[in-house]
A and B are shown apart, each in its own frame.
Chain A
Amino acid sequence: MTSLSSRDTALVDAAEPRVGFTVDGKPHTLRVPPTARLSEVLREGLGIEGVKVGCDAGDCGACTVILDGEAVCACLVPAARCDGVEIVTVEGLAEAGRPGRLQEAFWRRGAAQCGICTPGMLTSAEALLRRTASPTRADVEEALAGVLCRCTGYAKIVDAVLDCAADATTAPAVGAEVGAAVGARIDRLDGRAKVMGTDAFGADAWPEGTLLVRVVRSPHHHAAFALGDLDAWRRANPGVVAVLTASDIPGRNIHGVIPPLADQPVFAERVARFRGEAVAAIVGERAAIRALDLATFPVTWSALAAVLTPDDARRPDAPLVHETRAGNVLVRGLVRRGDAEAALSDADVVVEGAYTTGFVEHAYIEPEAGFARRVGDRIEVFACTQAPHMDRDDLAAIMALPPDAVRIIPSAVGGGFGSKLDLSLQPFVALAAWVTGRPAGVVYTRPESMASTTKRHPSAITVRIGAKADGTLHAMRFEGTFNTGAYASWGPTVANRVPVHASGPYLVPHYEARTAAIHTHTVPAGAFRGFGVPQAAVAQETLLDELADALGFDRLDFRIRNALTNGAPTVTGQVFAQGVGIRACFEALVPHWRERRAAARAFNATAGGPLRRGVGVAGMWYGCGNTSMSNPSTIRAGLGPDGRLVLHQGAVDIGQGSNTVVAQIFADALGFPVGQVALVGADTDLTPDAGKTSASRQTFVTGAAALRSGAALRETLLLRLNAGPDARLSLDGTMLRADDGRRDSASLDLAGLEPDAHGFVFAAEETFDPPTSPLDANGQGEPYAAFGFGAHLAEVEVDVELGRVRVLALICAHDVGRAVNPTLIEGQIEGGSAQGLGLALMEEYIPGRTENLHDYLIPTVGDMPRVTSILVEEADAHGPFGAKGIGEQVLIPTAPAILNAIRDATGVLIRDLPATPGKVHAALAAARAAGARP
């Protein structure tokens, strides 16, 4: 650099520094934009997409790489200062193209679920192991403390790293004999790419020349707006190819997951109804689009009066969010059985309480991302999603195309938990690619993802529960108001599911539950693991503790005594002859409950100081599949003339493991080794509709379809080979054999056969739709073919001076019907309970204020206790091999168990979530002022 005569000289000199560094052993020299982040340069300059980006703020750790031996957030390192450094990414951990030791351990342990945090976890762990060959558990937790994972609850990640200590070993892979895949802890079939960092998420593997899209969003809760001269603005900004608004949409400017109530525009027209709502999209060359200052975009805003809470929205003079929805009511729900009000008056003891919860953000580590391309008169969208066929149909209507002209190819999904059921970026990229004729992609920023996509519904719940002196639950009244935000999304589902579930898994003869989903000018609330049931369970399960105490019963015993059983009617009058496993879940907790309560009492009696320990339990039930609605899954499978056994698996695996579980079920039904199954999909062009990944339905519903497909294919093969039903099928190259042990085996060369349209010489396609019946005007009927059940025990330690709560242990018993893959189920339990812990103690999204991952807190490895999973197998007659859903069940009882444990420790019950230290302290102070002894 020469002397500096002016500021301009300095800038010109510094404009494009040339840097040379080594990445994964390979030297690179390149010019980098002066302020480019190392993460951007690695991904876009060098194509190392194993480096993931989750926040660009050092909050999530997904981009962690090893720089000169130390773990660093690549998003916080200017690439310009990396001259001469040595960098190791996840891709450098492989050994000769195969997973390295740490990667192998992650795979074996099930430490990678969705896989988006896996590269950052691996590099952080690798940096530790290079420094400390035999780290302690505390060392590992310290090293991983800055890398957020939303799927696993961290337990299996920590275990995997400890497996790689100098004196430890990684367990060998579990093999599965023919017919024994179900129940085996096999490695996830899609795990290799996740641990290698090669899985393609929405921001990965874009075609050369893909245009970038940025979305212009409302800065106001509620505002009218006028667009200015868009053409002039586009011309003034070189590199901008197109500006898209509502007028560019060929079809209808509306989408929604529940078609009769669809109400959300792709682009707002004239009025924006929440902060973060899209009004326009800008498409152009990547560098130009990135450099744009969106503040110059020609739009004039006029803020309008906004209602932000249901209380405000229901005032008579409140502005209507939608003109057609009087009182801002989207929908109401009701379940009524017996006479709750009368029964409450003849109960011996009645308890009641009012509860509130806030918005909860899904906080998957992958912000929404994907690209679209136009192929002739078709549009293809590669993006994160939980519901490819729903996306296809909604997008077709927006694009004015027939559904078969839209192809949805789900990317690897870096966490979903419900929010990726709704369309988000798909219309923007589809429209951009359609209009420009070039591939177009978008990657939401973290604040954009948080501001614009669905949340868990804030709730205001009042409950009264009455019991008889003999400890029998008698009556319950429940009233829940849910803030559903500006658009319908899954609000109706929440309003309908909650009344069905708000009794908890108990026999309640007199019951009335009413719900309302109320519109406000806030981000839409939609689906989030449990669809409102977690909020309801907080109220119902904490009141059950108060009721047990008032009656003088042990809190767990009280639950056991009232637990639903086979043959007893639920609050919708549904009677299950089999499959009701809640009592077994509670009973599995009994020894732990006794032991831990005694230990907590002993601690409190002797410890002195400000720490108090307590133990809480809570139960749950959750119906698998849609509520009283058809929700079929179809699975196709076949044998090719080349001897390939192919499973068209359309149940999107968002990390929970459907790729593996569905294949395990299919393989056992067919009678082939699961290792021989090749997966295709999900892809709306290739896989039949296996429904959405939600409602804990994929193992239960799609698994049942896979079971039927496997059995049907088996029957076809046996028939063709003239073999008996017990014959053992095998494939040797293209030779198919059946051996029933009684005579010479029959065989058939597949190579000579004529394939069908799908390329199969033998195929089966089967559908399963769980049997349900509609709910009547009082909510009576058979909403689900099966429920999953569970109960959690939480042990906490409360610092009564600070109000800070530490969860010491979670013990989680779940009736899963049949544990198809115990490792994956444990992963669901550990990860779901981490989300439950976050709901209980720390998570609250406040529009405009907590739109990043340092103001919005999710649990880190340091916040999670040891989680012990107890798997109860009360087989369900409809479930494949008896299996039920598990995905949502795991989150529901955690928060009430923690709140009950805090009450056990201190005597105070927090009814306004999250139970932040400030709230806990205030409650303790109020109790002290009232003369209690916390």
Chain B
Amino acid sequence: MKAAVGGYARARDLRHALELLSSADGMGRVLAGGQSLVAALNMRLTTGDILVDISALADCRGVADDGGTLRIGALTRHAEIGRDPLVRAHAPLLAEAVGHIAHAAIRNRGTIGGAIAHADPAAEFPACALALGAVMRVEGLDGPRDIPVEAFFRDTFETALAEGEILTAISVPKAAPGEVQVIQEVARRSGDYALAGLCLVRRAGRHRLALFSTGPKPMLATAAMAALDGGDTEAAISALKAEIDPPSDTQASGAYRRHLAGVLLRRAVARIEGGTR
């Protein structure tokens, strides 16, 4: 078959999945929704890998109210997140982001954990997690550990997940009263990956601004955040443009992406201040 990987195994439960990964001698690839991984197989980026299918891990699917946080199972699908009442009430950024992700068929199968662990720098969910200050619950044979999102994304397609570990849940703090969360992006064609995008959260007067598609990984624009906290949008835009270094590719130049980030920030600020955009 064209998807010429070394093998496939379906995990019964988390323990089994971790054992499968452990036995794969570093060649294991966790298969969640498959919307990025199976597509990549066609391009033979991953020949020789062993797919460990975790889709049967029922504990990893669904959204739970954990008091101050929402616990979102890694296997919760994009479409489910988009319509989940807890998410819509307490983490509306994620629900809004779903409308920007690819198209219906992809949203029906793709999972938030898959998107975050894949760490595509152009993807929406990693930046959302960063803007929300999420905590990643990661399981290994030695037990669970929590990784704050700020330490999670390392580089393009690279995360703090260690060999043999599986991302099982994402915990996001519930929105505080009066908190505003918005996502803004520009794509060349409707439904495509963003040329540039950002997530802006204002919580109790403090801002978190996460950029995507402007560098090798989603990043917090800390200088811009400080300027926003000080109420100076123009300074924030200048700071943002100075602290990102976007790449040029067939879709857009780095300079244009930098410009877009500035425009998007102005629009995001207008939105959270109740403007129309």
Interface residues of A (CB under 8 A from B): 1, 4, 6-7, 9-11, 13-15, 17, 33-37, 40, 56-58, 61, 64, 70-73, 75-78, 80-81, 124, 127, 142-143, 145-146, 287, 290-291, 293, 445, 447, 609, 801-804, 842, 844, 846, 849-850, 854-855, 857, 859-860, 862-863, 916-918, 921-922
Assembled-state Cα–Cα distance A921/B260 (Å): 10
Interface pick from B23-31, B133-141, B201-209: B23-31
Assembled-state Cα–Cα distance A264/B276 (Å): 58
Taking a contact as CB atoms closer than 8 A, the residue among A78, A849, A857 that contacts B53 in the complex is A78
- In this complex, how many residues of chain B approach chain A with their Cβ under 8 Å: the count is 57
Interface pick from B8-16, B89-97, B151-159, B211-219: B8-16
Q: Is B253 an interface residue (CB 8 A)?
A: yes
Taking a contact as CB atoms closer than 8 A, the residue among A11, A143, A850 that contacts B104 in the complex is A143
Minimum CB–CB distance from A11 to chain B (whole Å) comes to: 4
**Can you spell out 9 A-B residue pairs with CB atoms less than 8 angstroms apart?**
A1-B9, A56-B39, A70-B79, A76-B39, A81-B10, A81-B55, A290-B2, A854-B192, A854-B193
Q: Which residues of chain B (68-109) have a CB below 8 Å from chain A?
A: 79, 102-106, 108-109
Assembled-state Cα–Cα distance A6/B191 (Å): 43
Taking a contact as CB atoms closer than 8 A, the residue among A71, A803, A850, A921 that contacts B105 in the complex is A71
Assembled-state Cα–Cα distance A87/B223 (Å): 51
Given A77-B109, A918-B252, are A40 and B10 also a contact pair (CB < 8 Å)?
no
Assembled-state Cα–Cα distance A13/B250 (Å): 44
Interface pick from B160-168, B173-181, B182-190, B225-233: B182-190
Pair A11/B6 contact, Cβ less than 8 Å: yes
Q: Is B7 an interface residue (CB 8 A)?
A: yes
List, in ascending order, chain A residues with CB within 8 A of B2's CB: 37, 40, 56, 290
Minimum CB–CB distance from A920 to chain B (whole Å) comes to: 10
Pair B195/A917 contact, Cβ less than 8 Å: yes
List, in ascending order, chain B residues with CB within 8 A of A143's CB: 104
List, in ascending order, chain B residues with CB within 8 A of A146's CB: 102-106, 191
List, in ascending order, chain B residues with CB within 8 A of A293's CB: 4, 47
List, in ascending order, chain A residues with CB within 8 A of B242's CB: none
Q: Is B35 an interface residue (CB 8 A)?
A: yes
Taking a contact as CB atoms closer than 8 A, the residue among B16, B34, B79 that contacts A77 in the complex is B34
Assembled-state Cα–Cα distance A7/B192 (Å): 39
Minimum CB–CB distance from B126 to chain A (whole Å) comes to: 18
Assembled-state Cα–Cα distance A216/B42 (Å): 17
Q: Which 7 A-B pairs have the closest CB atoms?
A: A146-B103, A862-B190, A34-B8, A35-B3, A14-B9, A918-B256, A70-B108
Taking a contact as CB atoms closer than 8 A, the residue among B7, B108, B259 that contacts A10 in the complex is B7
Chain A: CB-nearest residue to B39: A57
Interface residues of B (CB under 8 A from A): 1-10, 12, 16, 19-20, 23-25, 31, 34-35, 38-39, 41-43, 47, 50-51, 53, 55-56, 79, 102-106, 108-109, 186, 188-193, 195, 250-253, 256, 259-260, 263, 276-277
Pair A804/B186 contact, Cβ less than 8 Å: yes
Assembled-state Cα–Cα distance A6/B7 (Å): 14
Pair B1/A35 contact, Cβ less than 8 Å: yes
Pair B8/A35 contact, Cβ less than 8 Å: yes
List, in ascending order, chain B residues with CB within 8 A of A73's CB: 35, 105-106, 109
Pair B252/A916 contact, Cβ less than 8 Å: yes
Chain B: CB-nearest residue to A846: B250
Given A78-B34, A842-B188, are A7 and B105 also a contact pair (CB < 8 Å)?
no
List, in ascending order, chain A residues with CB within 8 A of B7's CB: 10-11, 14-15, 34-35
Minimum CB–CB distance from A858 to chain B (whole Å) comes to: 8
Pair B108/A35 contact, Cβ less than 8 Å: no
Pair A17/B3 contact, Cβ less than 8 Å: no
Chain A: CB-nearest residue to B103: A146
Pair A81/B186 contact, Cβ less than 8 Å: no
Minimum CB–CB distance from B99 to chain A (whole Å) comes to: 9
List, in ascending order, chain B residues with CB within 8 A of A76's CB: 34-35, 38-39, 106, 109
Assembled-state Cα–Cα distance A498/B56 (Å): 60
Given A78-B53, A917-B186, are A7 and B109 also a contact pair (CB < 8 Å)?
no
List, in ascending order, chain A residues with CB within 8 A of B31's CB: 78
Pair A11/B50 contact, Cβ less than 8 Å: yes
Assembled-state Cα–Cα distance A918/B263 (Å): 13
Assembled-state Cα–Cα distance A846/B38 (Å): 25
Pair B105/A64 contact, Cβ less than 8 Å: yes
Pair B51/A35 contact, Cβ less than 8 Å: yes
Pair B39/A842 contact, Cβ less than 8 Å: no
Minimum CB–CB distance from A36 to chain B (whole Å) comes to: 5
Chain B: CB-nearest residue to A5: B23
Assembled-state Cα–Cα distance A850/B109 (Å): 26
Pair A859/B189 contact, Cβ less than 8 Å: yes
Given A35-B1, A291-B4, are A72 and B108 also a contact pair (CB < 8 Å)?
yes
Assembled-state Cα–Cα distance A10/B8 (Å): 9
List, in ascending order, chain A residues with CB within 8 A of B79's CB: 70
Minimum CB–CB distance from B2 to chain A (whole Å) comes to: 6
Assembled-state Cα–Cα distance A241/B10 (Å): 35
Chain B: CB-nearest residue to A141: B190
Chain B: CB-nearest residue to A849: B250
Taking a contact as CB atoms closer than 8 A, the residue among A10, A447, A859, A860 that contacts B9 in the complex is A10
List, in ascending order, chain A residues with CB within 8 A of B252's CB: 916-918
Minimum CB–CB distance from A668 to chain B (whole Å) comes to: 43
List, in ascending order, chain B residues with CB within 8 A of A34's CB: 5, 7-9, 51
Pair B109/A37 contact, Cβ less than 8 Å: no
Which of A37, A143, A609 counts the most B-chain CB atoms under 10 A from its CB?
A: A37
Assembled-state Cα–Cα distance A11/B8 (Å): 7
Minimum CB–CB distance from B18 to chain A (whole Å) comes to: 11
Assembled-state Cα–Cα distance A61/B108 (Å): 13
Minimum CB–CB distance from A853 to chain B (whole Å) comes to: 11
Pair A56/B42 contact, Cβ less than 8 Å: yes
Assembled-state Cα–Cα distance A862/B188 (Å): 12
Which of A35, A56, A447, A857 counts the most B-chain CB atoms under 10 A from its CB?
A: A35
Assembled-state Cα–Cα distance A862/B109 (Å): 21
Assembled-state Cα–Cα distance A37/B1 (Å): 8
Assembled-state Cα–Cα distance A9/B263 (Å): 55
Other than A80-B10, A917-B195, A922-B256, give 12 A-B pairs with Cβ distance below 8 A.
A56-B39, A58-B35, A75-B39, A145-B103, A846-B250, A857-B188, A857-B192, A859-B189, A860-B191, A916-B251, A917-B186, A917-B256
